[in-house]
Structure 1
């Protein structure tokens, strides 16, 4: 899995063209703001390292690490 991929929301780089003043087009990527974070999971008595977008970090703050981990594990068999 690439580093620039959120494990919760699935966000990944967007692709497109950069258009200059003279209207020449070159390829470029828009990278999501992903961070590597380590969370303590009390139910498993261990740390879990996740690569998350900043929106996913806010989701973990709201819902809690236990419910988010259950959702990630359920979605791994996609």
Structure 2
């Protein structure tokens, strides 16, 4: 599953994991992506991949089951 938010475009980014001895290895941070049924402005319902930050901010309206 692609880890990109369809609303804000957040995606994984890389950085360094630093051990106690200061050795560095690459690691990834992934956004918390959820599959959500969303009600679009025209009234249709669509399943989208949205990060929890967008859900909490109310940028989309969840469809009632």
Indicate the TM-score class for this superposition, using the shorter chain for normalisation.
Answer: 0.7 to 0.9
Q: Does 1:10 align with 2:45?
A: no
> Across the two proteins, how many residue pairs are aligned to each other?
61
- Secondary structure of the residue aligned to 1:36 is strand
What stretches of structure 1 move > 3 A for 4+ residues in a row?
40-44
The alignment yields a C-alpha RMSD, in angstroms, of: 2.2
TM-score by structure 1 length?
0.64
Which structure features the higher share of helix residues?
Answer: 1
Q: TM-score, normalised by structure 2?
A: 0.75
The structure carrying a bigger strand percent of its residues is 2
* Unmatched runs of 5 consecutive residues or more in structure 1: 66-78
